[in-house]
Chains A and B, each alone.
Chain A
C-alpha cells in the first residue's frame, strides 16, 4: 500500500471518527455525511480484504455506489428543504440509478467486474446536484463568510471527488487501451481524493461547530 493510501485512510478515519464522536448532536445532513465517510471506510476495508482473499475488490462497489448516491440525495434535500427542484431531481435520479445499477450488476458488469458504468452515472447525477447547489447558494447568500459555511466545503469536496471519478471513468477505456493507468494519473486522483475527504472533515467540523453554537444560544 502506497503512502498516499495511508494518508487517505487516516483522513477518512479521522473524518469518520469526528462524525461518530459528535453524531448525536449533529444536524441530519451531517449525520448522513458521517455515514458516507463510514461507508467509504467500510468499502475500502472490505475491498482490501477481498483483494487479498479473492484478488478482486470490485463487489462492495456495487452496493457502495447506490447507498452513497442515496445519502448524497438525502443530504441535498435536507440542505435545500424548500427547493422543490432538488427534491424532485433527487427522487427521480435515485430511482434511475438504483434501477440502472441493479440491471448493470446483474446483466452488464457482474459483481466481480468493477461497476464503472454505475459510478459514471452516479458521478453525472451528483455533478448536476452540486452545480445546482452552487447556483442556489448564490441566490441566497448567508451572512457568514463562505469559508465558514459547512455546505460550501461539502459541495467543494463533492465537486473535487465526483469530477475526479467522472474523469477517471470517462477516460478509463482510453487509458487502459494505451497500456494501463499511468502512475502520475493515479497519484493525481489520490491527491484529489485526499483533498475531498479533508473537505468533508472540514464540513463536519464547521457544521457541528455551528450547530453547537446554535444550541448554546440563550433561550435554546
Chain B
C-alpha cells in the first residue's frame, strides 16, 4: 500500500494522528512536571506537620518537666527544708556540752545544717520555674553559678554582657535548663577545677560559651555511644537547642578540657 498524498482525507488523518501523538507526549511530560511539583508540595507539607508535631511534643515535655521540677522544688522547700530547719532549732536548743570534743561536733553539726538549709533553698529556687520567671535567665544563671561555686568543687567565672538582651520567656526557660545540664555535666564528669561562662551579644545572635579545664572527652565518640544505648545527654542537649533554633558546638579532646558554645539567633 502506498501513501496517496493527494488524498485530502488521508492527509487530514495523518495530521490528526500526528497532532494527537504530539499531545500525548506533551501530556506525559507535563504530567511528570506536575507530579514533581505535587511531590515537593507534599514533602513540604509533611515537613511542616512533622515540625508541628515535634513542637507539640516539646511543649508537652516541657510542661511535664516543669511540673516535676515544680513538685520537687516544693518538696525540698516545704518538706525537707522544714525538717532541716527543725533539726537546726533542735541543735540550737541543745545544751552546750562541757566536753570540748562534743561541743566542736555540735558546732560543726549546726554549721552543716545551716549549709544544708541554704543549699536546699537555692536548689529549690533553681528548680522552681515560677521563681525563675521572675528573675529572668541572666539573674538565674548568676545564682546557679554561685550555687555551683558554693559546692567548693569548682570555681565558676561568669561574664555577662551589659546590657543583657530581652529574651522570650519560654526560650529563657530552655536556655536555663540547657545551661544547667551543661554545668551539671561538667560537675559530674569533667573533674574540672574551673568553669568559665562567657556570654557575648552579637548583632545576630547571643553566644554562650561554657569552658572547663577538666579531663575532656571525645564528643563524636560520646554521641555515638549515646546513640547506641539510645540514651545520650549530649544528643538531648542538641535536640533542646534545635527546638529553640539554637546551635550547639561541642569542642573537646581527652586531656584538653571541654567547650560548649551555644548560639541563639536573636
Contacts and interface: CB of A to CB of B under 8 A. Distances in A.
Given A160-B24, A178-B9, A179-B7, A138 B1 contact: no
Contacts, number: 68
Contacts of B4: 178-179, 182
B17 A138 contact: no
Given A171-B16, A171-B17, A183 B3 contact: yes
Interface in A151-172: 156, 159-160, 163, 167, 171
A206 to B, nearest CB: 15
28 contacts: A140-B42, A141-B35, A141-B42, A143-B39, A143-B43, A146-B39, A159-B28, A163-B20, A163-B21, A163-B24, A167-B17, A171-B13, A174-B13, A178-B4, A178-B7, A178-B9, A179-B1, A179-B4, A179-B10, A180-B1, A182-B1, A182-B2, A182-B3, A182-B4, A183-B3, A184-B14, A188-B17, A192-B21
Contacts of B16: 167, 171
Nearest to B31: A134
B191 to A, nearest CB: 42
B29 to A, nearest CB: 11
A182 B17 contact: no
A42 interface: no
B32 interface: yes
B10 A178 contact: yes
A175 interface: yes
B149 to A, nearest CB: 51
B34 interface: yes
Given A179-B1, A183-B3, A141 B10 contact: no
Contacts of B2: 182-183
B135 interface: no
B82 to A, nearest CB: 54
A185 B14 contact: yes
Nearest to B42: A141
Given A174-B9, A174-B13, 19 more contacts: A134-B31, A141-B35, A142-B39, A146-B35, A146-B36, A159-B24, A159-B27, A159-B28, A160-B24, A171-B13, A175-B13, A178-B7, A181-B1, A182-B1, A182-B4, A182-B10, A182-B14, A188-B17, A188-B21
A179 B10 CA distance: 9
B38 interface: yes
Top 8 A-B pairs, shortest CB-CB distance: A178-B10, A182-B3, A178-B7, A180-B1, A141-B38, A141-B39, A171-B13, A146-B35
Nearest to A138: B38
Interface of A: 134, 137-138, 140-143, 146-147, 156, 159-160, 163, 167, 171, 174-175, 177-185, 188, 192
Contacts of B20: 163, 167
A147 B39 CA distance: 13
A183 B13 contact: no
Contacts of B39: 141-143, 146
A177 B9 contact: yes
B49 to A, nearest CB: 14
Contacts of A141: 35, 38-39, 42
A182 B42 CA distance: 47
Contacts of A182: 1-4, 10, 14
Nearest to B14: A185
A96 B17 CA distance: 28
A63 B32 CA distance: 35
A141 B35 CA distance: 7
A182 B9 CA distance: 12
Which one of B13, B20, B21, B36 has the greatest number of beta carbons of chain A within 10 Å?
B13
Contacts of A137: 35
A167 B19 CA distance: 11
